Amino acid sequence: MLLGGHFYIAANSVDRIYTDLCVIDVTKDGLKVIEKVEGLSFDELQALTGATLIDATQG
């Protein structure tokens, strides 16, 4: 949904987000990055998205 120039996701309607930069799981704990493109640091990804992300790519 687009409101005021920003996209909003209705609660419980999306479990995973695919972008050209990463794959994000939408969880009750927040947005967990499970994959990202090679050569892109998590800090760079965080800055590019403007969203608060959780790094789940380690481990």
Degrees to nearest 5, angle at CA 14 with 49 and 29: 70
Supply the pLDDT for residue 2.
45
Supply the pLDDT for residue 37.
96
Which one-letter amino acid corresponds to residue 21? L
Tokens read off for 58 = 């380690």
Provide the pLDDT confidence category of residue 11 given band limits of 50, 70 and 90. Answer: low
Sequence spans of domains, the chain: 12-55
pLDDT at 12 over 60: yes
Hey, how many other C-beta atoms are within 10 angstroms of the C-beta on 1? 8
What are the backbone angles phi and psi of residue 45, rounded to the nearest 5°?
Answer: -60, -45
CA distance 31 to 52: 7
- In this structure, the strands spanning 6-7 and 16-18 are unpaired
pLDDT of 16-51, one tens digit each? 999 999 999 999 899 999 999 999 999 999 999 888
pLDDT at 10 over 70: no
